[in-house]
Amino acid sequence: MPEAQKEYCINALREFDKAMEHVPLDKKREYLEALQKVPSLVATESDPLQFIRYCDYNFWLAAERMCNYWMYRRELFQQRAHLPMTIDGTGALDDTDVLYLSAGWPALLPKTTCGRYVVLFDPSKQLNNVDRNCRRRASFYCANLIAKDERAQTPKGVVFLVNLIQPRMHVIDLVFSEKGLSKVDSVFPIRFDAHFLCKLPKTMRGTIREVSGGLVTKQAYIYKLISFCSRPRGQHFQPVIHYESEDGQFLRALMGLGMRKEDIPKCFGGTWSFAQARMWCKNQVKKEKEQRDSRKLRKRKKAEGNDNCGGGSKWTTQRQRTINAIHSRKKRERRRQEEEMVKQESKKLAKTNAYLKEENCRLQALLEEAYHHTLAE
């Protein structure tokens, strides 16, 4: 990275830290907890620069979105929230979450010709009798992976495909989907180019049983789906709806987005199959294990190198000073945040105490008034 760009990033991070100081304590509690317990994970899996770029260098909005990210991560993963976001068996996702990914919900398709990520949601790949939060955790994993690419923070950075309506209808939980889309708009540093693909059934006769248990006509249900998906959700999620009245329309539309035919799912006229989603998961597990082993090897070599230096070289001394400076800075930052938390709690308790004293005086006055009134009678 050029020196000028490096200096610019340092200044941006400094402004981000200042903005974070002004976020209310109750909104950044999960972020501060993660920063204290796993600072390296916060730096690698929620890089502040991702949020700064997404928010067009509005540092206050970026700080709020970062806090939303850790709040949602804690809500979804509970006690596993501070583990790495991996699917190799040692991270935040469990076997059922990985099963959802292997089934293709969601599916990360090959990148477009200009390098944009493509993510596909197909309702037919939802697993029955499985905790619905598995869908959210699998989606969170993919979003976390995508956000590391700087293109994800550019306008229409990620192609978002939904196989909304098929000749063989699948019921979609719209309430659950609305919650998921609202998280996309408020949590992740990703800008979507959203496309909903609809291939209408040949006949509108018949009924559909919704998630709530009620029966509606097929026509009414399709209208409800299209109305649901047509609504804009935030500045960076403007949906486009495609209809296929003749073969090849979907294929041409997706190739117009920069996708190759071999990377387009078969249901849209391409040759990509969901067996490739399972293969992607296997390759991803292998990649994550190699990365973990590589990190361990680097640590071991570094430790051996320090031992061989004997502690007397100028390079080792300078390196140790740098490490000590970093640790001291992190320690001061944690202490400052803890002091800030105590101050905010103190102010809150002082306000509550003042209110209670005032209320006590008011009630005491009412009690005395009632007593004198009783004596007068």
Is this model's pTM higher than 0.85 or not?
A: no
Beta carbons of 289 and 88 less than 8 angstroms apart: yes
Amino acid letter for position 55 = C
Alpha-carbon torsion angle 285, 288, 294, 300, nearest 10: -100
pLDDT tens string 85-102 = 999 889 999 999 999 899
Beta carbons of 84 and 92 less than 8 angstroms apart: yes
DSSP 47-77: -HHHHHHHTTT-HHHHHHHHHHHHHHHHHHH
pLDDT tens string 292-325 = 888 888 888 877 776 655 544 554 566 666 667 6
pLDDT tens string 214-269 = 888 989 999 999 988 887 776 667 789 999 988 899 999 999 999 999 999 999 99
pLDDT tens string 144-187 = 999 999 999 999 899 999 999 888 888 888 888 888 888 888 89
Q: What are phi and psi of 319, to 5 degrees?
A: -65, -40
Percent of the chain with pLDDT over 70: 92
Supply 166's token pair. 């098929």
pLDDT score of 323: 66
